[in-house]
């Protein structure tokens, strides 16, 4: 069961991350198109990639990864760091959807500098995830607030401006 779930997880993560890297390249194509038919064709392709390939792959990757965490009881500090990076990738995924909504309005373009920036940030996050998964680094001693029950609530209470009575 775990082997099948690992296969699904690796396959869907590969599709999701490849889509995160590739989609901004399609956005840049918007600037060179002026013909309405070509523009509609690009819009259909981008929406299809986001809605039919990238988003289902992201959902399946997160769902299978969650299942793997509980089936293999992998509650290690490196996993927490990996999940933080995956959370940032999920934010990029969401922002990509917001770009698609506005990109095909009249006069909108996706600048090349943004393409380079987003692609580089995405690649750094993906490489970070790969490093954490493959190396499984051992982190030094952690503050007790991160490891004891109720510790995060206690930490938050110290910085919460709306304290409970």
64-118 pLDDT, tens per residue? 999 999 898 777 888 889 999 999 999 999 999 999 999 988 888 899 999 999 9
What integer best gives the mean pLDDT of the chain?
Answer: 90
Residue 86 burial (10 A CB sphere; 0-12, 13-18, 19+): buried
Confidence of residue 3 (pLDDT cuts 50, 70, 90): very high
d(CA 82, CA 92): 15
Instruction: Tell me how far apart the alpha carbons of residues 87 and 79 are, in angstroms, rounded to a whole number.
Output: 12
Q: CA triplet 147, 151, 156: central angle to 5 degrees?
A: 135
Alpha carbon distances (Å) from 85 to 126, 147, 154: 8, 20, 24
- Distance of alpha carbon 143 from alpha carbon 146, whole angstroms: 6
Q: What percent of the chain has pLDDT over 90?
A: 63
pLDDT digits (tens, 9 = 90+) for 5-51: 999 999 999 999 999 999 999 999 988 887 889 999 999 999 999 99
pLDDT of 165 reads 63
**pLDDT of the residue at 161:** 77
Q: Which residue has tokens 């396959």?
A: 11
Which of the two residues, 58 and 35, has the higher pLDDT score? 58
Residue (of 14, 17, 13, 22) closest to 63 by Cα position: 13
Residue 122 confidence (pLDDT) above 70: yes
pLDDT value for 159: 77
DSSP state, residue 138: P
């Amino acid at each position: 069961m775990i082997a099948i779930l690992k296969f699904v997880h690796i396959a869907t993560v590969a599709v999701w991350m490849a889509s995160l890297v590739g989609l901004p390249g399609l956005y840049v194509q918007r600037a060179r198109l002026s013909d309405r038919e070509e523009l509609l064709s690009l819009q259909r392709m981008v929406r299809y990639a986001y809605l039919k390939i990238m988003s289902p792959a992201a959902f399946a990757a997160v769902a299978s990864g969650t299942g793997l965490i509980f089936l293999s009881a992998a509650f290690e500090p490196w996993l927490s760091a990996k999940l933080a990076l995956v959370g940032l990738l999920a934010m990029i995924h969401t922002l990509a959807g917001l770009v698609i909504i506005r990109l095909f309005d009249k006069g909108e373009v996706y600048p090349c500098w943004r393409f380079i920036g987003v692609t580089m940030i995405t690649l750094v996050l993906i490489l970070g995830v790969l490093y954490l998964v493959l190396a499984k680094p051992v982190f030094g001693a952690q503050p007790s607030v991160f490891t004891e029950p109720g510790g995060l609530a206690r930490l938050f209470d110290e910085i919460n401006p709306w304290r409970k009575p």
